[in-house]
Amino acid sequence: MGKEAAKTGPLAHRPDNSAFMQQRLPAWSPMLTTSTVLPFMYCMAVLCLVVGVSLLITVQGTQEMKLDYTEAGTCNNCFQSLKNVSNAGKSCSCRVVFTLEHEFKGDVFFYYGLQNFHQNLRKYMDSRDDAQMVGRKQNLKNPSSYCEPYIRDEKDVPIAPCGAVANSMFNDSFALQYQGQPGDPINTVPLYRKGIAWYTDENVKFRNPHKNKSQTLAQVFEGTTSPPYWQKPVYLLDPLDATNNGFINEDLIVWMREAAFPNFKKLYGVLVRTQEPFTNGLPAGNYSIDIVYNFPVQYFKGRKQVVLSTVTWFGGQNRFLPIAYLVTSGLVFIIAIFLTVIWWKFGKDAKNMNE
Amino acid sequence: MGSLLTYFESLCGKKREKEEERYIHANNRPLNLPYQYADNAIRTSKYNVFSFLPLNLFEQFQRLANAYFLVLLILQLIPEISSLSWFTTVVPLLLVLTMTAVKDASDDINRHRSDKQVNNRRVDVLIDGELRSEKWMNVQVGDVIKLENNQFVTADLLLLTSSEPLNLVYIETAELDGETNLKVKQALTVTGDIGDSIPGLGSFKGEVRCEPPNNRLDKFKGTLTVNGQTYALDNDKVLLRGCTLRNTEWCFGLVVFGGPDTKLMQNSGKTVFKRTSIDGLMNVLVLCIFGFLAVMCSILAVGNAIWEVREGSVFIAFLPRPNGVNAGFSAFLTFWSYVIILNTVVPISLYVSVEIIRLGNSFYIDWDRKMYYPKSDTPAQARTTTLNEELGQIKYIFSDKTGTLTQNIMTFNKCSINGKSYGEVVDFTGQRVEITDKTQTVDFTWNELADPKFVFHDPSLVELVREGDLAAQHFFRLLALCHTVMPEEKTEGELYYQAQSPDEGALVTAARNFGFVFRSRTPESIRIMEMGQEVTYDLLAVLDFNNVRKRMSVIVRSPKGKLILFCKGADTIVYERLHPSCLKLKDTTTSHLNEYAGDGLRTLALAYKDLDDDYMEDWRRRHHEANIAMDGKEERLDELYEEIEKDLMLLGATAVEDKLQDGVPQTIEQLAKADIKIWVLTGDKQETAENIGYACNMLREDMTEVFIVAANTAEGVREELEKARRTMCPEAPDKPVVVEARAGLFWRQKTRKVEDEAVNGEYALVINGHSLAYALEKDLELELLRTACMCQTVICCRVTPLQKAQVVELVKHYKQAVTLAIGDGANDVSMIKAAHIGVGISGQEGMQAVLSSDYSFAQFRYLQRLLLVHGRWSYLRMCKFLRYFFYKNFTFTFVHFWYAFFCGFSAQTVYDEWFITLYNLVYTALPVLGMSLFDQDVNDRWSSQHPQLYSPGQLNLYFSKKAFVRCMMHSCYSSLILFFIPWAAMYDTVRDDGKDIVDYQSFALLAQTCLLIAVTIQLSLDTHYWTAVNQFFVWGSLSAYFAITFTMYSNGMFLIFTSTFPFIGTARNSLNQPNVWLTILLTSILCALPVVAYRFTLIQLWPTINDKVRHKVRKEALPAPAPRRPPVRRISTRRSGYAFSHAQGYGELVTSGRFLLRRPQKIRTALLFPQSDSPLSQGQPQLYRPITALNRVPEEEQPAQQS
């Protein structure tokens, strides 16, 4: 504009003859013509069909077993006893048995599932302090106000990890046994309990507060208390592996990744395929799970499950996408035919197009 | 409220007691001081440094949208409610507020600057008996100041004395009312006699009593008391601020009103803020959306209550409720939380974007070379930037005639002398040859005084004059003598004429070029050069022109002592007064006149008469007696004139062309094809208006009928209108069908609409000012409207400015259609302001019309491009923008609604908060802006080629309540796809390494990516015109989304701002999953599919005009340029109007005996009418600036007073 003002002469105010100012920018004007739309439609139909079929084949190759143990087997006793609030702190063990009809080939993943547990309530989700969990010393003793109502206990001792999410951490534990046929020796199914959380969560998002070489983890967490529902302090979550304690405990990390929907499953362990008979996966046969039954679900009409599943490149066994693709393929095909008919009957000679 | 305000004002001491009467002592500041009259400083700025922020913020928050977002912000600060972080609202709001504030600030700085400049102008003030140069702002009421030629008038002054004879001053009022013609003001003799004696003025002790400050430009009432004598003051004696002194060496004036009290300032700042119909619709829709929002939130709140009772009450083990919150209270809080989350249905960026789009489209108008007029170096200008899309919906155009359709330049084109017609170019076979730019023009170099700009093509006339043909010489002698033109000869031989009408100037110039040069005049004589010889005629009488006489005569005595009366006038009038001996000449002249009329020329008949001395003596005596008679002066004079103007000898006739602007007929034809109705509202006479109507193709010989309504009573007008209506549409009911409806905000606005009625055949209506005055009255206006709207063409002649506005209001009111008024003069201002869109023709008759217009350009023909190209595109773009904008935001918002059913109605958002913040501002802002700034369905040439493309805008097809509902349904569908497909695809799945992917953060990322891609695809389907910029915006925004997302979810951002960016790693961990991408693909297909199928079906089955043209565009290359038709020559018996000005002549002043009182003492050498004043001076025929005396009511306004 400044350049324009400087011009003088008889045509001083003449606008520049640029394509932009004269709205003549070269452009591509696509139009929904027969030659583009119909081939596109048919291609889409074929594409969806191909994707749907290949997904379906993939999904058929995965195996999954779900077992609701809320009231199953001896766990019913625990379920009943937990209904009594006074038993809340008491540990209760039970066992459920099941049979695998077919062998689970490949890596097998062990999940626990919860139903009707609303990890996605706004107040619940907000009730955490990422700064504390990433190991900030200051936040360890002064948790953020977001952690309401689990910031400090009655004695005004700060809670670590604070907040409702951590407080409600799932605390059932499982031990899986395999017995090929009745009478066979009982093998404990080895589960690898590490590497179950996202790499970024384990290495960036969750860190223990910095400690000197001389300090133990317990000393670092001194001056804090564990969440009220917890039976163990945070530095003792994994009695077996000292490096899996504190905020970097993988069960805690998995739990802290809140689910989007009220029904969800979370990874508990992965089958270790180093020893027989599990080198190929889980063989068919009878299994039992010893459960330390701590987590109360009766309050909110929830259910608890264990899920065994194999995965493919497409993830777990979810039949929705393949079927949705097949349905879409059919739909696109029907629409394409419909459009073809319309074009054939009305638009072919473009007589509508002439004024 | 009002009393409160006054209370505050009285507290601040700002407001004085309301002035009843102003009482001023001249030259006496101490005596005037107690009245506390405002001094001459003006302040148009709104803010100062300290008041800017609070005042500007206060103003901004008065806007509904901004206030709404402020409320949202407050809601967000309540922790119980806050469902979104504060930044989601603050960032957009701050951006909007800052942008507006910067714009306001720069505007105000400019105002400050111009105030300062004006206030610091200097003027000579008479203080303590001597002249001192003072700043304008220090001038006070009661001061006597001296103005010099070409100076601006400092304040409203009472004229005391001037350098000119009779104490006259000439002023130009262009800045005040836009008229460039000079006006005359005259001081009282008692003050005028002081002259320029400083001691005399210093001791002047007049006292003025006058009306309080007001905004009436044409009225002033007051008295001046000098030495015990009281004199009445009127508007004639007052110079108003804003005028410029011309042709007057100096004058002295007494300041009556200063600064803010001046009539100029009292008149300014009351511009009506125009809004477009889309604005109105948008307000209604936003209101509906608020209602809709409330409904959604209520549903969710109820859901929350139910959930809290059934599920939440048992979930409190894990999430204890805060004290005092029960299910009901929780539902209440949830309601507000959802108000925050779902606020995106009315996003603040909507308003900003709309403004940006309008601004952009206004710039296109400013930049358009095809609307730039090189001859006057005038580009088109969008003076209002907020009305563009309305240009695409115009249904009625109201056009002025003079200066708008015509150039307001008269050229002497043809004449008939003694039964022979001149002016045609004839080839050797005797055929008429079309006159073009290349036709040889007549050489006038033999005449030293000829006007070089005068163009004539027929060489035979010059030969005739030079041969000494008596009739021809008499003919031009008449033209040189019989007029009221004032000559101006700055240097020897350089003549300029000041004519009161362009016609007259054209005739005198013609005479000048043919060797009869009008050199100078005194009240008693006229000096002309007759073929190189100077001849002085004694001017005995001027029988002036007026509207009834329709002729003008002069009686002169030649040097040889011959007494001659020269008369020119309308042919019908002159014919009645001819001597019987001219019968044969009359017949041939009549046929010539008919021919001229057929060509649309304005004609005059010329005649003369020799008088004998005795009779003249007697007549002059009686004339003098009549002149000084106390009563019946007018009638007696008329009788005398009638008596002497008879038995005239016919000389011939002149034909003056009122030149149409270039391309006017073609433009009108194209606009008519676009189904735009054009009404011409002109102050001209019926004959002239009709002629122009024919000339520009609005009236055609092949029309079924042209109705002319020219009755003089209300009953007569009704009868004629009804008769016309019955002829056009016999089966129409007698009573008009008026549809009453309600619209507007809160449905408070009552609308009444008269339906269009179909007619067979083409009709036109011509109605004159008298009849229009009756027809515009309450009981007849509907009849007028019905009849007029049935006609293709409506021409209203002799209308006053007020009536112009009334006609516009009538159509606006009862047709609910968008109107446009186009004009160039001050008399068009009212209609320009009344219409939805006002267009001013710039560079012709002052700036008033342009100043009050919304758009301005130099030529009428640009209107076609403004409407058919710019208007259409603006409308299309705005509608596309709104449809898409509502679509993308509703889709965005509805997903939250569905998610509520899965998250216990806890007001959890589906998306990341940052995505919510940036969605409208960054991710989707530019692509949609790109579309709404660049999109064009077909290019400009096709748009002009197919004016039918314009009609969808008139019918409101692209954006209406219906379209809005369709938009909502579409969004609803899309949001269902966009929520439930990801939900179903994800709810029970895991990553390929068995880890979690159904967590909230991954799902949020998936949902927002699906949404963004789906809306981008929708945008791509909507975009018809993919420029590189569009490509860049679309791909750039998508890339920006991924780039920003990866950045915000990166380790670094988390470690620095831990609690602000908790989504660390989500993008990396989920976007590497094939099932995530397959889900995105599926949602995209399902969202786009129905749209493609639906649109394809529509195009195949019911193609719109746009589809048809686009289809044609694909098949053909550029359209052939429209064939240039030669102007149609009509063979018509229609007699044209006569070439005379609208206003009464200047004769009285010319011959005024008062001229004798004081002769000009010296010959002034100053430039009186500097030609550089006129931007048109280059390469244009001479422009005549009319001189009118202020005290004469222009004839145009007379009908209004009679009605």
Smallest Cβ–Cβ distance between A12 and the set B377, B936, B1073 belongs to B377
Give A96→chain B minimum CA distance, Å.
Answer: 23
Contacts of B704 by beta carbon, 8 Å cutoff, 6+ apart = B761, B762, B763
Beta bridge partners of A97: A288
| pLDDT tens profile B791-816 | 888 998 878 778 888 899 899 888 88
Say whether B224 sits in a helix, a strand or coil: strand
Closest Cα partner for B1062 from A258, A214, A314? Answer: A258
Interface test with chain B among A29, A132, A312, by most B beta carbons within 10 Å: A29
Kindly tell me if the per-residue pLDDT of B1164 is higher than 50. no
Per the CB < 8 A criterion, the answer to whether B838 and B821 are in contact is: yes
pLDDT of residue B5: 41
pLDDT of residue B17: 57
**Rg of the Cα atoms in chain A:** 31
Say whether B489 sits in a helix, a strand or coil: strand
pLDDT of residue B1174: 33
Closest Cα partner for B422 from B398, B451, B456? Answer: B456
pLDDT of residue A7: 58
> Is the peptide bond between B1119 and the residue preceding it cis, with omega within 30 degrees of 0?
no
Beta bridge partners of B557: B538, B563
Dist. CA B25–CA B144, nearest whole Å: 10
Kindly tell me if the per-residue pLDDT of B1160 is higher than 60. no
pLDDT of residue B1150: 55
Say whether B823 sits in a helix, a strand or coil: strand
| pLDDT tens profile B400-427 | 887 788 877 788 888 999 888 888 877 7
Rounded to 5 degrees, φ, ψ at B702 are -85, 10
| Identity of residue A192 | Y
pLDDT of residue B878: 93
Smallest Cβ–Cβ distance between A13 and the set B379, B990, B1062 belongs to B379
| Identity of residue B1052 | G
Test A347 with B987 for CB contact under 8 angstroms: no
Kindly tell me if the per-residue pLDDT of B153 is higher than 80. yes
Lowest mean pLDDT among A307-321, B624-638, B975-989: B624-638
Smallest Cβ–Cβ distance between B318 and the set A14, A130, A164 belongs to A164
A64-68 and A303-310 strand pairing = antiparallel
Closest Cα partner for B301 from B328, B282, B324? Answer: B328
Closest Cα partner for A271 from A207, A203, A188? Answer: A188
Residue B747: band (very low, low, confident or very high) from pLDDT cuts 50, 70, 90: low
Indicate the average pLDDT of chain B: 81
Element (H, E) at B874: helix B872-900
Judged on CB neighbours under 10 Å (0-12, 13-18, 19+), A277 is middle
Residue B1142: band (very low, low, confident or very high) from pLDDT cuts 50, 70, 90: very low
Chain B residues closer than 8 Å to A30 by CB = 1024, 1026
Give A124→chain B minimum CA distance, Å.
Answer: 6
| pLDDT tens profile B216-243 | 777 788 888 888 888 888 888 888 887 8
pLDDT of residue B1176: 33
The CB density around residue B1170, as the number of other CB atoms within 10 Å, is 12
Per the CB < 8 A criterion, the answer to whether A192 and A269 are in contact is: yes
| pLDDT tens profile B297-349 | 999 999 999 988 888 777 877 888 777 778 888 889 899 999 888 888 876 77
pLDDT of residue B783: 86
Nearest residue in B to A114, CA atom = B988
Test A120 with B902 for CB contact under 8 angstroms: yes
Test A353 with B379 for CB contact under 8 angstroms: no
pLDDT of residue B176: 64
Smallest Cβ–Cβ distance between B997 and the set A129, A299, A315 belongs to A315
Angle between helices B348-367 and B87-119 (to 10 degrees): 40
Test B311 with A347 for CB contact under 8 angstroms: no
Residue B1163: band (very low, low, confident or very high) from pLDDT cuts 50, 70, 90: very low
Dist. CA B902–CA B510, nearest whole Å: 90
Lowest mean pLDDT among A305-314, B907-916, B1139-1148: B1139-1148
Q: What percentage of chain B has pLDDT greater than the value 90?
A: 21
The alpha helices in A113-189, defined as continuous H runs, are 122-126, 130-133, 137-141, 164-167
Dist. CA B449–CA B494, nearest whole Å: 7
Per the CB < 8 A criterion, the answer to whether B682 and B698 are in contact is: no
pLDDT of residue B1156: 34
Q: Sheet containing B22-25: give its strands across.
A: B22-25, B207-210, B222-226, B229-233
Query: What does the pLDDT average to over A296-322?
Result: 88
Query: What does B389-450 look like in DSSP terms, one character per residue?
Result: GGGGGEEEEEE-STTTTEEEEEEEEEEEETTEEES--B-TTS-B----TTSPPPP-TT-TT-
Closest Cα partner for B833 from B852, B850, B816? Answer: B852
Smallest Cβ–Cβ distance between A270 and the set B367, B994, B1001 belongs to B994
Query: What does the pLDDT average to over B105-132?
Result: 85
Dist. CA B460–CA B467, nearest whole Å: 10
Dist. CA B1068–CA B1045, nearest whole Å: 10
| pLDDT tens profile A144-158 | 888 888 888 888 899
Test B1099 with A347 for CB contact under 8 angstroms: yes
Kindly tell me if the per-residue pLDDT of B11 is higher than 50. no
Give B300→chain A minimum CA distance, Å.
Answer: 14
Contacts of A200 by beta carbon, 8 Å cutoff, 6+ apart = B1051, B1064, B1065, B1068, B1069
Angle between helices B925-934 and B348-367 (to 10 degrees): 30
Closest Cα partner for B552 from B574, B535, B572, B530? Answer: B574
Residue A254: band (very low, low, confident or very high) from pLDDT cuts 50, 70, 90: very high
Lowest mean pLDDT among B151-155, B749-753, B926-930: B749-753
Dist. CA B843–CA A252, nearest whole Å: 79
Kindly tell me if the per-residue pLDDT of B675 is higher than 70. yes
| pLDDT tens profile B512-552 | 888 899 988 877 888 898 888 889 999 888 887 776 777 88
Kindly tell me if the per-residue pLDDT of A332 is higher than 90. yes
Lowest mean pLDDT among A290-299, B261-270, B1080-1089, B1157-1166: B1157-1166
pLDDT of residue B684: 73
- ∠B131-B134-B137 over CA atoms, to 5°? 140
Chain A residues closer than 8 Å to B368 by CB = 15, 21-22
Dist. CA B601–CA B598, nearest whole Å: 7
* Tokens at B621, concatenated: 């005596």
Smallest Cβ–Cβ distance between A262 and the set B873, B902, B989 belongs to B902
pLDDT of residue B980: 95
| pLDDT tens profile B161-213 | 888 777 878 787 766 655 555 677 888 888 888 888 888 888 888 888 888 88
Chain A residues closer than 8 Å to B1003 by CB = 260-261
Say whether A103 sits in a helix, a strand or coil: coil
DSSP state of A209: P
Kindly tell me if the per-residue pLDDT of B738 is higher than 90. no
Rounded to 5 degrees, φ, ψ at B1184 are -100, 130
Give A183→chain B minimum CA distance, Å.
Answer: 33
Higher per-residue confidence, B677 vs B453: B677
Lowest mean pLDDT among A68-72, B469-473, B1047-1051, B1186-1190: B1186-1190
Catalytic residues of B: 400
Dist. CA B578–CA B586, nearest whole Å: 9
B44-82 in b/e burial notation, b at 16+ Cβ within 10 A? ebebeeeeeeeebeeebeeeebbebbbebeebbeeeebb
Test A23 with B940 for CB contact under 8 angstroms: yes
Give B661→chain A minimum CA distance, Å.
Answer: 20
Element (H, E) at B691: helix B686-695
Test A121 with B904 for CB contact under 8 angstroms: yes
Hey, which of B468-477, B521-530, B1034-1043 has the most confident mean pLDDT? B1034-1043
DSSP state of A239: S
DSSP state of B1138: B
Rounded to 5 degrees, φ, ψ at A129 are -130, 100
Give B172→chain A minimum CA distance, Å.
Answer: 26
How many Cβ pairs within 8 Å bridge chains A and B?
Answer: 290
Test A321 with B1082 for CB contact under 8 angstroms: yes
pLDDT of residue B470: 87
Nearest residue in A to B321, CA atom = A149
pLDDT of residue B1076: 93
Query: What does the pLDDT average to over A56-77?
Result: 89
